[in-house]
Structure 1
Amino acid sequence: MKKLHVLIAAAALLMSSCSPIIRTPEEFSSGITDYSTFAKKGFFITESNSVNFDYQPIGSVYVKQQAGYEVLSNTTKQKVYSDDVIGGKSTEDFNTLKIGSKFIPLDINRGLKEIHFQSEKSGANGIINLKITHWNGGYSITGMAIKK
């Protein structure tokens, strides 16, 4: 019986010593998203889903950005040759992107300018229920475009 306990303890020790300990650094950030530039233009933005004035709903509006490298030019066509299952040859055109070396970081202000532009383009002069969602490497901004 003692041999069984020793064997189980040894197996548990062996299994736990083989798994690496993953340590991630602490992440801490803070800041403010400034809506005042839009208010100065007469554009209303609120994170609230209800307001105390009448409005006409225009539509849902969203922006999504993923950090990455800039695209240098338009897509180019690339021919891809492949053998199909039966043995025939086929040719297909695929679009390929030319990726540059300049990294484009996340920019919430750029997203806010775009959601403002899209809202005004549709005839809105405000957004209610604005939500900014962050994830690793990206964010999305959603809301309801309205006309006061």
Structure 2
Amino acid sequence: MKQLFTLIFTLAILSLNLVSCVTLPSPPLPAPYAFAGVFDYSPLTSKGVFVTESNSVSFDYETIGSLYAISDGGWINKTYVEPSLDALYNEVLKQLAAYNANGIVNLKINVSGRIADRTKRYSLEGMAIRKTDAGKINAQVSTARRIIGKIDGISLQILEAYSNGTRVLTSQKLNVSQLRQAWKKYFYNQSQIQFYTEKGLADKVAYASFIDRQIVNYETNEFIPLE
């Protein structure tokens, strides 16, 4: 019995030694990485806002105050919605209009956090000014076309952006699920959005819209909740 116990104890010690000698694989080292991007200021400049990253300009202006804006991600019905530059710019335009400002100097935009950790944030800061040789910013409409992204491979392009709504051109019709995705990702804080295809735009007929947190399907006359 004593010999059996000694044998078992010896085997256990040998097993521990073998385990301790096993070298676990190291996690892969990160590969070289490079990235370049451009922050598009056209959503501001197309509304008549003067923008510069410099802290000095060659014209007279009235100082309004320090400007700061952020866009954080958040959850809507258990779905994470990423922060966006469009949401950031919308808040900036509201503040500029409220103070009758029409320019930003010493503008800086920063990106922090990571989408994977749900911590990504866009932040903007600068000094709001009022150019003495210019009028109010155009808060009514922007006719600068720009592609804002894609939903399931279908591109979305801003046609006109009004203070109370936006006209959007899509490369093909979005279905209900895709419209909900577009609302959560790009238009959550906007009151009214109209969607067109190229043919519908030529005929001046939208195929769908967002009104009062509902999808309006103009082809079937249906009202479908967005949430």
TM range (shorter): 0.5 to 0.7
Q: 1:140 to 1:25 in 2, by over 3 A?
A: farther
Q: List alignment gaps of at least 5 residues for structure 1.
A: 1-13, 71-99
Q: 1:27 to 1:141 in 2, by over 3 A?
A: farther
Separation (CA, whole Å) in 2 of partners of 1:112 and 1:52: 25
What corresponds to 2:122 in structure 1?
139
Q: 1:43 to 1:59 in 2, by over 3 A?
A: same
User: Post-superposition shift, 1:67?
Assistant: 2.1
User: Post-superposition shift, 1:37?
Assistant: 3.6
Q: 1:31 to 1:109 in 2, by over 3 A?
A: farther
- The percent of aligned pairs where both chains have the same amino acid is 37
| Residue correspondences, number | 104
Give the conservation status (yes or no) of the 8 Å contact 2:52–2:105: yes
What corresponds to 1:40 in structure 2?
46
User: Post-superposition shift, 1:24?
Assistant: 4.8
What corresponds to 1:109 in structure 2?
86
Separation (CA, whole Å) in 1 of partners of 2:73 and 2:32: 21
* 1:1-148 mapped onto 2 (5 Å cutoff): 21=27, 23-24=29-30, 28-70=34-76, 100-136=77-113, 137-148=120-131
Q: 1:25 to 1:107 in 2, by over 3 A?
A: farther
Report the TM-score, using the length of structure 2 for normalisation: 0.40
Separation (CA, whole Å) in 2 of partners of 1:106 and 1:30: 19
Separation (CA, whole Å) in 1 of partners of 2:95 and 2:110: 18
User: Post-superposition shift, 1:22?
Assistant: 7.1
Q: 1:26 to 1:104 in 2, by over 3 A?
A: farther
User: Post-superposition shift, 1:108?
Assistant: 1.5
User: Post-superposition shift, 1:32?
Assistant: 2.1
1:65-94 CA-to-partner distances (Å, cap 9, x unmatched) read 222313xxxxxxxxxxxxxxxxxxxxxxxx
Q: Which amino acid aligns with 2:109?
A: I
1:24-77 CA-to-partner distances (Å, cap 9, x unmatched) read 56655433222234323221111111111111010111111222313xxxxxxx
User: Post-superposition shift, 1:23?
Assistant: 4.3
1:103-135 CA-to-partner distances (Å, cap 9, x unmatched) read 111212321221122122111011111111111
Q: Please tell me the root mean square deviation across aligned C-alpha atoms, in Å.
A: 2.5
Report the TM-score, using the length of structure 1 for normalisation: 0.59
